[in-house]
Amino acid sequence: MIQFLLILLIVRHGFGTRNDEEKKLNLLVRGWAPLVWLAPGERFMPLGVPEFLEHVQAGDNYLRTRLNIETLLMNESSFLYGKQPDGNVPVYALVKNCINLPISTSSSSATINSFIIDRKRIKQHRAFIPRDENNDINASIQNNEVATTKVKANHGEMTLISDENTFRKLHFHVTYWMFYPFSEGKAVCVLDLGFLGTWPIPSVGGICLGKLKGYGNHVGDWEHMSLYFKGDDYPVAMYVSAHDAGAYYRYDIRSGTFVYESQETRKGIFQKPIFPERVFTSSGSHPVLFSAKGSHGLWTAPGKHKFVRLPRLYDESGFGIPWLTWRRLELLNSDNEQFTPAWMTFRGKWGNPRSNCHPLVRLGFNICEFVDGPTGIPMKNGRFQC
């Protein structure tokens, strides 16, 4: 993180406004990073990507574990079980800027005429400082001088104009990505029919007359939530993703909570999970979220949640281990590929191909003990558009 900032400082010296904006953006991304509660009894912890990559090899568009999955699962100190997250495991914050900064329009007719510090506006914006127990954040926002850029375009082509008294607002969205080396599927009640394979059967009165078998496990698991900032020192909206569904919340500054707006099912079996009305914040800014036991789907409240992928199954979340994601954030700038790690460009699947499938899998009966690993960050569309 510090190296990243240093590089930015070197590359951008001479562009005072840009520097200040980067600094401020950093503080906002950190100040509003989520507090994620892992579920009580969670066995599969998150892990940093570089560490995961040491244990897999790429080929045919998949990252496969060097040892077979069953062997790794039998060993509780294998990398599949991840690490205690707090301060150890990075969270990747992918930032997308919505305003083209003046420097990037240099090929056009825009020229930067002057930088004007607008002190009046800085004072006004002090009211919106995220309350955080981290004094550094407070101090740096206070000291952060915000400059306005006056840009004049020739030939009447105005690309970016802000008058001397206008505070140049930061407008961006950020997605916080969390990586887990293994995702545990769900136990399904099955009956073994010999060469016809095992078939899922409904349990009768809550009792499984066959045997319980885990389905839908996979190596590699990306989970995310996004925030949208539009000019203020607090976000306007939040998107939280659980499996193939997700919910939009808007930020209510008076109560300091996120208020439910709408939800969507991105794909798969249509189900309507119930999202709570409000999401609370920790220290006045960090949204408090809950990672489901085993599957790590992100929920906005503790308790039992209808599992999205398979009917009649639930996700469970609660107050297990807190993960203060801002303790170790790595910023990825989607507009600046030179600052993104090489693994960001991998477009294949972050885990082994499916295995131990039902014999009728070729007829579209997609039930496997291990399913394909998920795709990574570049293959997933952000939920906010600029």
Ligand X SMILES: *[C@@H]1O[C@H](CO)[C@@H](O)[C@H](O)[C@H]1NC(C)=O
Q: Is 142 in the site for ligand X (CB under 6 A)?
A: yes
Q: Is 356 in the site for ligand X (CB under 6 A)?
A: no
One character per residue 15-34, x = contact with ligand X (rule: CB under 6 A): --------------------
**Which range in 56-64, 71-79, 161-169, 215-223 contacts ligand X by CB under 6 A?**
71-79
Q: Which of 226, 222, 224 lies closest to 173, judged by CA?
A: 226
Q: Is 138 in the site for ligand X (CB under 6 A)?
A: yes
Tell me the three-class secondary structure of 111-144, residue by residue: EEEEEEECHHHHHHHHHHCCCCCCHHHHHHHHHC
**Which residue carries 């209808």 as its tokens?**
306
Q: Is 381 in the site for ligand X (CB under 6 A)?
A: no
Q: Is 143 in the site for ligand X (CB under 6 A)?
A: no
**Closest distance between ligand X and the C-beta of residue 29, in Å?**
19
Closer residue to ligand X, CB minimum distance, 74 or 204: 74
Closer residue to ligand X, CB minimum distance, 5 or 129: 129
Number of residues that bind ligand X (CB under 6 A): 6
Query: What whole-number distance in Å separates Cα of residue 150 and Cα of residue 166?
Result: 9
The two three-digit tokens of residue 237, written as one number: 């909206």
Q: Which residues face 331 on adjacent strands?
A: 93
**Closest distance between ligand X and the C-beta of residue 30, in Å?**
15
**Closest distance between ligand X and the C-beta of residue 177, in Å?**
25
Q: Which of 174, 167, 93 lies closest to 126, judged by CA?
A: 167
Closer residue to ligand X, CB minimum distance, 54 or 60: 54
Closer residue to ligand X, CB minimum distance, 136 or 277: 136
Integer CA distances (angstroms), 132 to 26, 28, 135, 227, 329, in order: 14, 11, 7, 18, 16
**Closest distance between ligand X and the C-beta of residue 328, in Å?**
21
Q: Residue 234: what residue type?
A: Y
**Which range in 22-30, 73-81, 177-185, 249-257 contacts ligand X by CB under 6 A?**
73-81
Answer for the pair 340, 325: CB distance below 8 angstroms, yes or no. Answer: no
One character per residue 50-69, x = contact with ligand X (rule: CB under 6 A): --------------------
Give the containing element (helix H, strand E) for 25.
helix 16-31
With CB under 6 A as the contact rule, the residue among 10, 54, 60, 135 that binds ligand X is 135
Closer residue to ligand X, CB minimum distance, 135 or 385: 135
Residues in CB range of 185: below 8 A, 6 or more apart = 214, 215, 216, 217, 218, 294, 295, 369, 371
Integer CA distances (angstroms), 15 to 1, 10, 120, 141, in order: 21, 10, 21, 19
With CB under 6 A as the contact rule, the residue among 54, 59, 77, 206 that binds ligand X is 77
Q: Which residues bind ligand X (CB under 6 A)?
A: 75, 77-78, 135, 138, 142
